[in-house]
Amino acid sequence: MRTVPFLKHKFLLEARGDADDSVLAEIFLLREYALIEPELKRAKTVVLDIGAHKGFFALYVRALNAEVPVLCYEPEEANYAALKKHLEVNKVQGVTSKNAAVAKEEGTLLLNVSEDSHNHSIVVAPGTTVQKKVSATTLEKIVSKFEKVDVLKMDIEGAEFQIFENTSSAVFKKIGVIFMEYHEYGPEMRAENLQKIFEKEGFVVQKIPSKYDKRMGFLRAWKA
């Protein structure tokens, strides 16, 4: 465990290797989610963290907003155990976590487990060492439980395309802001496809390409 200062907080976090270090830096040092900090600070109903990894983003949200409920989904068991540990040792309240994937349909799926803790995927297999069965739910089922979703954060290594291509307008109407990482790992996986879907549903969309990998970047979508 090491201490990671952020705003008025000093989080105790465990990072094992370069992959964890990169996620820590992305969230707490580079503040790559800074564009949605105003919405996170104002959030009251719920923030959804889809692809929660080891809980770093959930802690980031809690540092910005002491009250809003946060709901996390993380399918990989080692990451999920670390997430639970980070919530416990930092005495974080109001964060609920589920050891499950989010996909286009419910059921049991195979998760391609990567050597890097943040590259696990249900649709692509970069550096895969093993496949594990995981439970899956849908974005529609998650959102149906809430009157409104203030912020939807998503980082799920390519599965974002199948999810949003199968998301109904009723779900989109409940979501205030989407901030997601896109992964163009195949010819059919294009950020522009997601941008068109979001714009059709009434969102304004900003594309933010990665400085490190031209296949990746962020999409920020909000209602004007």
With a cut of 80, say whether residue 76 has pLDDT above it. Answer: yes
**pLDDT per position as a tens digit, 10-64:** 999 998 888 888 899 999 999 999 999 999 999 999 999 999 999 999 999 999 9
With a cut of 80, say whether residue 140 has pLDDT above it. Answer: yes
**pLDDT per position as a tens digit, 180-201:** 999 998 888 999 999 999 999 9
With a cut of 70, say whether residue 65 has pLDDT above it. Answer: yes
User: Is residue 151 a contact partner of residue 179, using CB atoms and an 8 Å limit?
Assistant: yes
- Rounded to 5 degrees, what angle do the CA atoms 58, 84, 79 make? 85
> Hey, what domains does the chain have and what are their CATH numbers?
33-222 (3.40.50.150)
| Closest by Cα among 38, 124, 60 to 72 | 60
Strand residue runs (E) in 70-119: 70-73, 95-98, 101-103, 107-114
| Closest by Cα among 181, 157, 165, 143 to 47 | 143
Average pLDDT of the chain is 92
Q: What is the pLDDT of residue 209?
A: 94
Distance CA 168, CA 170 (A): 5
Q: What is the pLDDT of residue 127?
A: 61
Q: What is the pLDDT of residue 186?
A: 85
User: Is residue 153 a contact partner of residue 49, using CB atoms and an 8 Å limit?
Assistant: yes
With a cut of 60, say whether residue 133 has pLDDT above it. Answer: yes
